[in-house]
Amino acid sequence: MAEYEKIKGGAIPKLFKELLRHKTILKMTLVDTGHEHLALITGLDNRNNAPHFIIDLPEGLEQAAAGTDRWHLHFEFTGKDHIKYTFTTTDTQIDQNRIYIKYPQKIDRWQRRELFRIVAPMGTKLCLTHDSVRHDLGVINISIGGTLAALVQTRSHRFEKAPFADKQFLKDIELIFPSEIMQTPIRIQSAQIRRIKMNSEKTGYKVGFEFYEIDAAEKKRLTDLIYQLQRQHLRKRLPLDLENGEKA
């Protein structure tokens, strides 16, 4: 299952400025021909009272588009957030071996649900009991499929070695969020430790958990919360006009 959001309005010019500044590579496909080319945005321009981005005319594109009244171009790129973006346009002009392409009305921002991670709200805890000892780990980031958490020694809770082992399965885990975000803990029936590493200060460990068993209702609660937090993050980063969508 893949999730997407439609980026619209004032967010689009800002996104194209980022693509130009970071020299982001775009994959351009001439639809229905199989002709593909990698391109860089070389400039931005206001043409006929409308904003356009500019790329160099790829070799062979005009021949591939021969007999086509309007070029149907599909673009894909990976943003600096490591997430895939796509858009399609037919509004192009050629001038001196450069293609002027009008900004699309929307850009789709895609991601795999299970892979998307977001920084956890301050105060989020992962809590479990192992060998009769309760452990409260501070959650660093979280996805629908797992989390990275910190287990830090305190005066009242010290350990000579890590209390967990790589690949170990743990049961009856709770994700506890600040009360203003979520009142009731999310319960994970079981999780597997995917990595465990001492932190740089040598005061504890960073532990990566993969959720192995989680009730469907609890997974939905976690999914809804993560996408709520994601949208808050995006609105801070870009003035996005978002419409949510889902595609199998």
Residue among 225, 209, 223 nearest 171 (CA): 209
CA-based diameter of the chain, in Å?
77
Beta bridge partners of 30: 35, 73
pLDDT for residue 244? 47
Listing DSSP states for 58-111 in one string gives PTTHHHHTTT-SS--EEEEEE-TTS-EEEEEE--EEEETTEEEEEPPS-EEEEE
* pLDDT for res 91: 85
How far is residue 167's CA from residue 220's CA, in Å, rounded to a whole number? 26
DSSP label at 154? B
pLDDT for 67: 67
Contact call for residues 128 and 149 (beta carbons, < 8 A) = no
Cβ contact 146:46 at 8 Å: no
Nearest to 109 by CA among 246, 237, 248: 246
Total count of residues recorded for the chain:
248
User: Could you list the mean pLDDT of each consecutive 10-residue stretch along the chain, which spans 248 residues?
Assistant: 72 93 90 82 92 90 72 86 84 88 90 67 93 90 90 71 86 93 93 87 86 89 84 62 44
Secondary structure of residue 162 in the 3-state scheme: coil
Per the CB < 8 A criterion, the answer to whether 243 and 6 are in contact is yes
Signed CA dihedral, 211, 216, 222, 227: sign only: positive
Domains of the chain listed by start with CATH number: 2-111 (2.30.110.10), 118-231 (2.40.10.220)
The two tokens of residue 98 are: 């450069």
